[in-house]
C-alpha cells in the first residue's frame, strides 16, 4: 500500500505514516525541547520539595500543568502540517499555459487578479517552484521549499513553518512558556528568600541549592524574549495580520500612494482573536495518508474563468472527502458533466 506522503515534493520530513509533518532541520527544536525539560526537571527536583513543605503542595501541581501545556503545544506546532499547498501537476501547468493564448509573458511573470467578497482586488503571483498562482496570504518558504497557506514565518525553535493550521498552537506555546518561565523564576526567588532566613547570608542559601540559581539564570535571560515575542504575536492577532505581512508592510495606511485596508480584518481586535484562536481549522490540503492508485485522480474544478478572461475570480471546492484543493480543471475538457455536477453540488467558497 502506497500513500501520498511517500511522494511529498517539499523538504519536509514526514513521520507516523503521514500523521506528523516537520521541517527539514529539527536540531534547534530538539535543543529547545531539552532546555525546557531540563529546566523544569531541576525545578521539580530541587525546588518543589522545599516549597511544598514550607508553603503549599499546590505549587508543583500548577507547575506540572504549565509544563504539560508547553510540551503539548510545542509538539503540536512542530508536528502539524502548517498548510502546505500541493504543487501543480503537468496537466494543470499545461492548462495554465493555454488559458490565454494572447499572453506573450511567461507564467513566472504573469499576475492574476482576485476579487474577494469584500470587494478588494488582490494580485496573485506565480510560484516558479510550485507551479501555481499563490492564493491570498500564501508565501513560499525557502527552508521547506513549499507554499504555505497563511504563511507567518519559519520558526527554527519549533523546526517547522508557522501557518494556517498550526499558528494557534504556536501562540499558545508562547503563552504557556511565558507563564512557565515567570512561574519558575518567581519561585526560585521565593526559595532563596526562604532559605536565607535560616542561613546567615544569601550566598549561603545559594550554596545550599545551586540548581535554583541555574534555573533562575536560564529563566531570567529567556523570559524577556519569550514575553516580547508573545506580546508581538498578540498585537498581530488583534490586527489580523501575519509576521510576513507586517515585515513587508502589506497593509500600511499609505502604501504606494494608496490607502490599503486589510481585507482579512474583522474590524475588531476581539473578533480577530476569536477567529484566529477559536475558529475551525481546515483539513490538510495534501491528505498525506490517502492511498495512491495507478488510476488515482484528484477532483478539481474551476469557475469564473474562461479562455477570453483568465483573470476572473477562481473559487475552490471540496472533493468527495471534504478536502479543499488548489487544483483547477478545464470544464470544457474531458468529463464536463462531472464539473457541472460539482458546481451544482457544492456552494462556492473563497480560499481566503
Catalytic positions: 155
Q: Choose among 135, 144, 136: nearest CA to 78.
A: 144
Give the span between the Cα atoms of 235 and 152, in whole angstroms.
14
DSSP states along 141-199: ETTTTEEETT--EEETTTTEEE-TTTHHHHHHHHHHHHHHHHHHHHHHHHHHHHHHHSS
Q: CA 196 to CA 65: how far, in whole Å?
A: 29
Phi first, then psi: give them for residue 77, nearest 5 degrees: -65, -45
How many helices (H) and strands (E) would you count in the chain?
Answer: 10, 9
- Determine the Cα–Cα distance for residues 266 and 250; give it in Å rounded to an integer: 17
CB atoms inside a 10 Å sphere around CB 2: 11
Pairwise CA distance, residues 147 & 128, whole Å: 11
Q: How many residues does the chain have?
A: 352
Pairing of strands 20-22, 111-115: unpaired
Amino acid at each position: 500500500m502506497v500513500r501520498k506522503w511517500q511522494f511529498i515534493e517539499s523538504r519536509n520530513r514526514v513521520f507516523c505514516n503521514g500523521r506528523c509533518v516537520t521541517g527539514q532541520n529539527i536540531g534547534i527544536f530538539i535543543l529547545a525541547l531539552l532546555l525546557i525539560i531540563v529546566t523544569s526537571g531541576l525545578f521539580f527536583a530541587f525546588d518543589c520539595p522545599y516549597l511544598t513543605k514550607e508553603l503549599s503542595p499546590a505549587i508543583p501541581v500548577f507547575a506540572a500543568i504549565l509544563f504539560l501545556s508547553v510540551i503539548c503545544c510545542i509538539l503540536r506546532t512542530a508536528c502539524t502540517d502548517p498548510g502546505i499547498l500541493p504543487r501543480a501537476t503537468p496537466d494543470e501547468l499545461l492548462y495554465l499555459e493555454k488559458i490565454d493564448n494572447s499572453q506573450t509573458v511567461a507564467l513566472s511573470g504573469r499576475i492574476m487578479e482576485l476579487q474577494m467578497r469584500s470587494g478588494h482586488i488582490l494580485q496573485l503571483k506565480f510560484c516558479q517552484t510550485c507551479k501555481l498562482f499563490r492564493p491570498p496570504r500564501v508565501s513560499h518558504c525557502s527552508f521547506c521549499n513549499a507554499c504555505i497557506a497563511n504563511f507567518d514565518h519559519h520558526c527554527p525553535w519549533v523546526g517547522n513553518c508557522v501557518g494556517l493550521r498550526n499558528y494557534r498552537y504556536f501562540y499558545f506555546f508562547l503563552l504557556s512558556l511565558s507563564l512557565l518561565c515567570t512561574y519558575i523564576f518567581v519561585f526560585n526567588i521565593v526559595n532563596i528568600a526562604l532559605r536565607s532566613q535560616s542561613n546567615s547570608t544569601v550566598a549561603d542559601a545559594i550554596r545550599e541549592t545551586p540548581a535554583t540559581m541555574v534555573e533562575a539564570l536560564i529563566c531570567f535571560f529567556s523570559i524577556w524574549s519569550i514575553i516580547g515575542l508573545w506580546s508581538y504575536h498578540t498585537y498581530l492577532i488583534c490586527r489580523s495580520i501575519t509576521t510576513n505581512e507586517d515585515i513587508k508592510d502589506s497593509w500600511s495606511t499609505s502604501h504606494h500612494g494608496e490607502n490599503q485596508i486589510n481585507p482579512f480584518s474583522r474590524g475588531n481586535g476581539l473578533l480577530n482573536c476569536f477567529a484566529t484562536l477559536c475558529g475551525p481549522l481546515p483539513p490538510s490540503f495534501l491528505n498525506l495518508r490517502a492511498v495512491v492508485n495507478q488510476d488515482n485522480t484528484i477532483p478539481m474544478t474551476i469557475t469564473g474563468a474562461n479562455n477570453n478572461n483568465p483573470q476572473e475570480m477562481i473559487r475552490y471546492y471540496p472533493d468527495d472527502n471534504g478536502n479543499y484543493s488548489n487544483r483547477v480543471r478545464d470544464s470544457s475538457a474531458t468529463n464536463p458533466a462531472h464539473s457541472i455536477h460539482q458546481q451544482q453540488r457544492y456552494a462556492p467558497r473563497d480560499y481566503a
